[in-house]
Amino acid sequence: MSDYIEVINPRTKICTLIKNGEPVAIYKMEQCDRCSSLSKLDEFGYQKGYDNADKIIWFCAGCR
């Protein structure tokens, strides 16, 4: 059995990383708009709209 477990709330897309039954980290997950995989959210993945204000789509690190 693995020491680390990721528990993702599908409604809020918030992930809790658990090590040996103790929460270690809580972070936001997002679904990639290209490959549909769930990955840890980072702001660099957003593609902005024409006016550079709207965040249109998000790509994971592998698809960027």
Of 32, 28, 37, nearest to 58 by C-alpha is 32
- Determine what percent of the chain is predicted with pLDDT higher than 90: 66
Q: Number of helices (H) and strands (E) in the chain: give both, helices first.
A: 0, 6
**How far is Cα 37 from Cα 35, in angstroms, rounded to an integer?**
6
Environment class of residue 58 by beta-carbon count within 10 Å: exposed (0-12), middle (13-18) or buried (19+)?
Answer: buried
Residue 48: is its pLDDT beyond 90?
no
Average pLDDT in the chain? 90
**At 1, is the pLDDT very low, low, confident or very high (cuts 50, 70, 90)?**
low
> What pLDDT was estimated at residue 35?
95
For 18, residues 6+ apart whose C-beta sits below 8 A from its C-beta are 4, 5, 6, 7, 24
